[in-house]
Structure 1
Amino acid sequence: MNTHNWPLENLTPNQKILADYIQKNMTSILYSTETEIADQLNLSNATVSRFWKTIGYRNFKDFKNNLKEHIEISPANKLENIMQQVETSDLQTQMLKLSTHHLEETLLHFSSENFQKAIDALVMSKKIYIYSPGPSEGLGKLIDFRLSRFGLSIHYMPKSGHEIFESLVHLTDQDVVLIFGFVKLHPETKVILDYSKEVGAKSIVMTDCLISDFNTTADIILFSSRGELWEFHSMIAPTFLIENLIIGVGKELKGNSISKLEELNSLRSKYKDLLPR
Structure 2
Amino acid sequence: MTDPALFRQQTAYTPAEQVIMDYIVTNPQEFLLLSIKEVARRLEVSEATISRFARHAGFDDFKALKNGVASQTLGPADKISASIDESGGDARAFMIQQRDYIETTLEGLDAAQFERAVGAVAGARRVYLHGKGAAGALAELLEFRLKRYGIAVERLASGGSELMEGLAYAGAGDAIVLFGFQRVPVEGQVLIDVGRRCGCTTVIFTDRMVQGGGQKADVILYTYRGEPRAYHSMTSAVALLDALVVAVGARLDGKALEGLDRIRDLKRAYAHLIPR
Give me the TM-score of the superposition, normalised by structure 1: 0.92
Task: For residue 83 of structure 1, report the CA deviation from its aligned partner.
Answer: 4.0
**CA-to-partner distance for each residue in 1:163-215, whole Å, 9 max, x for gaps?**
11112221101100000111112111111101101111100000111113378
Question: CA RMSD for the aligned pairs?
Answer: 2.0
Task: For residue 258 of structure 1, report the CA deviation from its aligned partner.
Answer: 1.1
Counterpart AA for 2:74: I
Q: Aligned residue for 1:273?
A: 272
**CA-to-partner distance for each residue in 1:40-63, whole Å, 9 max, x for gaps?**
112221211221112222111222
Listed as ranges, the matches of 1:1-277 within 5 Å are 2-5=2-5, 7=9, 10-69=12-71, 71-77=72-78, 79-80=79-80, 82-83=81-82, 87-88=86-87, 91-213=90-212, 216-277=215-276
Query: What is the SS of the residue equivalent to 1:179?
Result: strand
Contact map agreement 2:176 2:201 (CA 8 A) in 1: yes
Contact map agreement 2:77 2:101 (CA 8 A) in 1: no
Query: What is the SS of the residue equivalent to 1:217?
Result: coil
Query: What is the SS of the residue equivalent to 1:10?
Result: coil
Matched residue count: 274
Counterpart AA for 2:45: L
Contact map agreement 1:214 1:221 (CA 8 A) in 2: no
Would you identify which runs of 4 or more consecutive aligned residues in structure 1 move more than 6 Å? none
Shift of the 57–132 alpha-carbon distance from structure 1 to 2, 3 Å rule, reads same
Task: For residue 106 of structure 1, report the CA deviation from its aligned partner.
Answer: 0.8
**CA-to-partner distance for each residue in 1:114-137, whole Å, 9 max, x for gaps?**
111111111111000000111011
CA distance in 1, matches of 2:126, 2:88: 48
Counterpart AA for 1:74: G
Moved more, 265-274 or 103-112: 265-274
CA distance in 1, matches of 2:196, 2:250: 28
**CA-to-partner distance for each residue in 1:11-65, whole Å, 9 max, x for gaps?**
2211111111011123443333211211111222121122111222211122233
CA distance in 2, matches of 1:43, 1:267: 58
Task: For residue 75 of structure 1, report the CA deviation from its aligned partner.
Answer: 2.3
CA distance in 1, matches of 2:128, 2:138: 13
CA distance in 1, matches of 2:170, 2:55: 43
Query: What is the SS of the residue equivalent to 2:171?
Result: coil
Shift of the 155–265 alpha-carbon distance from structure 1 to 2, 3 Å rule, reads same
CA distance in 2, matches of 1:215, 1:269: 51
Moved more, 255-264 or 7-16: 7-16
Task: For residue 95 of structure 1, report the CA deviation from its aligned partner.
Answer: 1.4
Query: What is the SS of the residue equivalent to 2:274?
Result: coil
Give me the TM-score of the superposition, normalised by structure 2: 0.92
Moved more, 207-216 or 30-39: 207-216
Query: What is the SS of the residue equivalent to 1:229?
Result: coil
Shift of the 214–103 alpha-carbon distance from structure 1 to 2, 3 Å rule, reads farther
Moved more, 214-223 or 1-10: 1-10
CA distance in 1, matches of 2:88, 2:2: 34
CA distance in 2, matches of 1:244, 1:22: 27
CA distance in 2, matches of 1:153, 1:257: 13
Counterpart AA for 2:151: L
In structure 2, the gaps of 5 or more residues are: none
Contact map agreement 1:181 1:206 (CA 8 A) in 2: yes
In structure 1, the gaps of 5 or more residues are: none
- Identity percentage over the alignment? 28
Contact map agreement 2:4 2:25 (CA 8 A) in 1: yes
